[in-house]
Amino acid sequence: MASNENSGSEPNNGTASSSSTSKDGETPTQIQPFRMPTVEEVRAQDVWNNCVVRSVASGVMGGGLGLFMGMFLGALDNPIMQDEMTGRQQFIYTAKQMGRRSWSSCKTFAIMGLVFSAAECVTEKARAKHDITNTVVAGCVTGGTMSAKGD
């Protein structure tokens, strides 16, 4: 009955914990000291916190995403008169459709990325808070801008 009492929830003076670490072969992790950022890291962070830099980077990345999505979706389009077209005509049609769709998607995603990032950054700087409200405001501004564009 004495062995049942020790196998319960009561610790065994640290012998159970030390035997479990020796069985696993793991050593306890040490806490690393805090490292101050270098001057270059602080400058890079200041550059990235600039709203213009952040917006342009988001616009470029959005344009790249739109380019690839347009190429992918353009390749999936089938011509209406597919049965009457030769293989060469279908290839030319698909290539033109991929080009048109990728350029259109590139512009749309670039504008969306630029407007969303700019609106979020400006809202964050004006409110001096980093929370979900900035994202909601930026989404509303972006949606309004895209619908007012008239595409």
Give the model's pLDDT for residue 108. 93
Which tokens hold the place of 138? 């930026």
C-alpha torsion sign, points 99, 103, 105, 106:
positive
Average model confidence (pLDDT) across the chain: 82
Residue 27 has pLDDT above 70, yes or no: yes
Where does the pLDDT of residue 141 fall: very low under 50, low under 70, confident under 90, or very high at 90 and above? very high
Percentage of the chain with pLDDT > 70?
A: 79
- What is the structure's pLDDT at 150? 60
Exposure string over 36-52, b if 16+ CB within 10 A, otherwise e: eeeeeeeeeeeeeeeee
